Amino acid sequence: MNTDTAVVRVVPTTPFNDQRPGTSGLRKAVSRFQQKNYLENFIQSIFDSQSSRLPHTLVLGGDGRYYNREAIQIILRMAAANGFRHVKVGRGGILSTPATSCVIRKYKADCGIILSASHNPGGPQGDFGVKFNIDNGGPAPEKVTEAIFERSCTIESYKIVEAAPIDLDCLGQSQLGNMVVEIIDSVADHASLLESLFDFDQINTLLSSGGFRICFDALAAVTGPYAHAILEKRLGAPAGSVRQGTPLEDFGGGHPDPNLVYAHELVKIMYGDNGPDFGAASDGDGDRNMILGHGFFVTPSDSLAVMTANHRLIPAYRQGIAGVARSMPTSLAADMVARKLGLDCYETPTGWKFFGNLMDAGMATLCGEESFGTGANHIREKDGLWSVLFWLNILAARKQPVEKIVREHWHSYGRNYYSRHDYEDVEAERAHAVIASVKSRLPDLPGMKFGKNEVASADDFSYTDPVDGSTAGNQGIRICFTDAARIVLRLSGTGTHGATIRIYLEHFEQDSSKQDRDTQDALAHLIDIAHNLTNIVPLTGRTKPTVIT
Ligand code: VG1
Ligand code: CO
């Protein structure tokens, strides 16, 4: 189709007041995004905030959720009107978040747009979202998201060309005005990057031996095609090792969130008699992961620590790694490893965007968050399948069960009992009251005793980026105890209904004879202290968390 003559329409609009991106992009109910001009305003605000440089190449895709295809058609017509010359789109509108990061970097694109609300449910009654990534392949840093938000507050018009819809399902190039639209294979680039990092032959031998079984649950979200191609076709896992491997617009009605609560079918399989040796799940947009052994759950914080301790088993990291970084609420397990191995260790605010500078500057190689996210400097996003392959490579090299590897790890480095308690959909005012009441007590807490636990320090975490000196305040309350236990409290920046209070609890146990306890039991004393400190029950009217991970 030749639409060289495509007419650019300038459409008048008025600002919406709720387009400030959160922890990871702009997330709203689908119905909000479908409101007239809502998506268009936000996309134009992104393009306007980039106008100091001539835009050239954009990478575009999404997790396949409801409204993905319609949004892609709108964004393509707006990109053409805004002067882009080339857009690479994942076939069928499908590109996982890590694959998008990979494609941006590989082809030196200027930026990327990922249509996803990650782990939030999809479908007409669910959520939609827009993430914006910059030329290093990573999420836009706060100065960029703030500029987008400011623009959205004053926007008066957006630009779009009139054109017939592009066929998203057919590989190859077509023309939209002066812009080339290229439909690319969603999987190929990311799969070959992953192949360059790990020992695929060793993993293949393990998976095709018949003696070692895996179960990967894509939760009917974006990773299905990637997992089928890599785990089954390339690495020899028998067909059927990947379940729920077809992306559905509503994720089959579930929460595409890989944790013990929402990936319950996988959990049942892995804890069943004769369950597989290794299990994993991924989230809506493929950047998160959960790792399980037979009858055994690996906390994401422990997963980062085990990866750090075993990095020399992986070809890409055999020569050593630069350092490790974790988000503030993530447990200190990785720090224990870093200390023993003499590696640099960084603590950043929640959200992958804070790791980008550390990786760009060659300061951190492995990064992780307690929220089921681990990744490395091969791209600038967390990467679910990378994490799965990292574990499979460790298992293939060590020839031990997952549980044994983790227990030996605890024996060497100590165990960080860890859990997160979420109170979802709390009335915003009440949630802010909880935070405010703890904040007002912070100066008095150091030295205070709660039973046997004495507070060593208490603060509101603020971060100064060691690379560019930018600062981020109000990143969560940390209360640290003299025995290395911690309670962290913050509000979620990804929800779309009311406010979500997250309480993170951590207790360190060096004594091997005490590393076998139930997590919630081991944390019971800290849970009591957290209730006492936050007054969460009287202030919110909630007696227990909505989700415990
Ligand atoms: C949550 C997690 C955070 C993660 C973010 C995006 O944020 O806690 O660790 O980076 O989601 O994940 P919050 O503000 O709700 O706690 V995802 O997989 O969007 O891309
Ligand atoms: Co995600």
Question: Is 88 part of any domain?
Answer: yes
| Cα-to-centroid distance, 140 and ligand 2 (Å) | 15
pLDDT value of position 167: 96
Assess whether 409 and 419 both reside in one domain. Answer: no
282, 311 in Cβ contact below 8 A?
no
Assess whether 379 and 230 both reside in one domain. Answer: yes
Alpha helices by DSSP H, 161-319: 188-197, 200-207, 224-227, 264-271, 300-309
Give the closest residue to 23 by CA, choosing from 112, 139, 143.
139
CATH number, domain at 194?
3.40.120.10
Assess whether 372 and 484 both reside in one domain. Answer: no
Determine the Cα–Cα distance for residues 56 and 198; give it in Å rounded to an integer.
33
pLDDT value of position 4: 55
CATH number, domain at 447?
3.30.310.50
521-528 LR contacts (CB < 8 Å, sep 24+): 522/417, 523/417, 523/418, 523/419, 525/451, 525/452, 525/453, 526/453, 526/485, 526/487, 527/421, 528/450
Question: Is 3 part of any domain?
Answer: no
Residue 40, sorted as left (phi over 0), alpha (psi -120 to 50) or beta, turns out to be: alpha
* Tokens matching residue 362: 């060659």
Determine the Cα–Cα distance for residues 489 and 500; give it in Å rounded to an integer.
11
- Using one digit for the tens of pLDDT, what is the confidence trace for 327-359? 999 999 999 999 999 999 999 999 999 999 999
Question: Is 2 part of any domain?
Answer: no
Q: Is the pLDDT score of 324 beyond 60?
A: yes
Assess whether 389 and 362 both reside in one domain. Answer: yes
- Chain-wide mean pLDDT for the chain? 95
Question: Is 359 part of any domain?
Answer: yes
Assess whether 14 and 136 both reside in one domain. Answer: yes
pLDDT value of position 2: 44
Question: Is 102 part of any domain?
Answer: yes
pLDDT value of position 444: 94
Identity of the residue numbered 86? H
| Cα-to-centroid distance, 285 and ligand 2 (Å) | 5
pLDDT category, 1, cuts 50, 70, 90?
Answer: very low
pLDDT value of position 498: 86
pLDDT category, 505, cuts 50, 70, 90?
Answer: very high
Determine the Cα–Cα distance for residues 280 and 223; give it in Å rounded to an integer.
11
Q: Is 119 in the pocket of ligand 1 (CB under 6 A)?
A: yes
Question: Is 526 part of any domain?
Answer: yes
Assess whether 33 and 140 both reside in one domain. Answer: yes
The domain boundary residue, chosen from 128, 162, 186: 186
Q: Is 492 in the pocket of ligand 1 (CB under 6 A)?
A: yes
Assess whether 381 and 514 both reside in one domain. Answer: no
Q: Please give the torsion angle defined by the CA atoms of residues 271, 275, 279 and 283, in that order, rounded to the nearest 10 degrees.
A: -60
Question: Model pTM?
Answer: 0.94
Determine the Cα–Cα distance for residues 441 and 473; give it in Å rounded to an integer.
18
- Using one digit for the tens of pLDDT, what is the confidence trace for 230-260? 999 999 999 999 999 999 999 999 899 999 9
Assess whether 163 and 250 both reside in one domain. Answer: no
- Using one digit for the tens of pLDDT, what is the confidence trace for 514-546? 999 999 999 999 999 999 999 899 889 898 999
Residue owning the nearest CA to atom 11 of ligand 1: 494
Question: What's the angle, vertex CA 41, arms to CA 40 and CA 45, rounded to 5?
Answer: 115
The domain boundary residue, chosen from 137, 160, 186: 186
Assess whether 272 and 405 both reside in one domain. Answer: yes
pLDDT value of position 3: 45
Q: Which of 494, 497, 547 to mutate to test the pocket of ligand 1 (most atoms within 8 A of CB)?
A: 494
Assess whether 178 and 317 both reside in one domain. Answer: no
| Cα-to-centroid distance, 116 and ligand 2 (Å) | 8
Residue 31, domain extent: 8-186
Q: Is 152 in the pocket of ligand 1 (CB under 6 A)?
A: no
Percent of the chain having pLDDT more than 70?
98
Give the closest residue to 100 by CA, choosing from 17, 128, 111, 282.
111
Residue 313: CA atoms inside 13 Å, Cβ hemisphere, count? Answer: 19
118, 86 in Cβ contact below 8 A?
no
If one counts every other C-beta atom within 10 angstroms of the C-beta of residue 271, the result is: 15
* Tokens matching residue 327: 């988000």
Q: Say which ligand is closest to the CA of 96.
A: 2
* Tokens matching residue 121: 């449910």
Question: Taking the alpha carbons of 158, 163, 168, 170 in that order, is the dihedral positive or negative?
Answer: negative
First CA to last CA distance, the chain: 51
pLDDT value of position 495: 80
Tell me the residue length of the chain. Answer: 549
Residue 341: CA atoms inside 13 Å, Cβ hemisphere, count? Answer: 24
Give the closest residue to 46 by CA, choosing from 137, 127, 150, 182.
150
- Using one digit for the tens of pLDDT, what is the confidence trace for 257-312? 999 999 999 999 999 999 999 999 999 999 999 999 999 999 999 999 999 999 99
- Using one digit for the tens of pLDDT, what is the confidence trace for 4-63? 568 999 999 999 999 999 988 999 999 999 999 999 999 999 999 987 676 799 999 999
225, 94 in Cβ contact below 8 A?
yes
Q: 96, 101, 116, 118: which is the annotated catalytic residue? A: 118
| SS3 sequence of 219-251 | CCCCCHHHHHHHHHHHCCCCCCCEECCCCCCCH
The domain boundary residue, chosen from 379, 413, 447: 413
Residue 395 backbone dihedrals phi, psi, to 5 degrees: -65, -40
Q: Give me the residue label for tokens 């994993």.
A: 280
Assess whether 255 and 151 both reside in one domain. Answer: no
- Name the residues around ion ligand 2, CB cutoff 5 A: 118, 283, 285, 287-288
Question: Is 1 part of any domain?
Answer: no
Q: Is 372 in the pocket of ligand 1 (CB under 6 A)?
A: no
* CB neighbour list of residue 238: distance below 8 Å, 6 or more residues apart: 213, 232
Determine the Cα–Cα distance for residues 461 and 227; give it in Å rounded to an integer.
37
Distances (CA, A) of 81 to 16, 363, 391: 22, 39, 45
Percent of the chain having pLDDT more than 90?
93
Give the closest residue to 467 by CA, choosing from 130, 112, 138, 51.
138
Residue owning the nearest CA to atom 6 of ligand 1: 24
Give the closest residue to 413 by CA, choosing from 531, 324, 525, 529.
324
Q: Specify whether 118 is catalytic.
A: yes
pLDDT value of position 5: 63
131, 287 in Cβ contact below 8 A?
no
Average of per-residue pLDDT across 167-194: 97
Assess whether 248 and 270 both reside in one domain. Answer: yes
| Cα-to-centroid distance, 350 and ligand 1 (Å) | 7
- Using one digit for the tens of pLDDT, what is the confidence trace for 190-243? 999 999 999 999 999 999 988 899 999 999 999 999 999 999 999 999 999 999
Distances (CA, A) of 189 to 101, 104, 281, 379, 544: 10, 10, 21, 12, 45
| Count of the separate structural domains present in the chain | 3
Give the closest residue to 322 by CA, choosing from 365, 291, 281.
365
Beta bridge partners of 490: 502
Beta bridge partners of 412: none
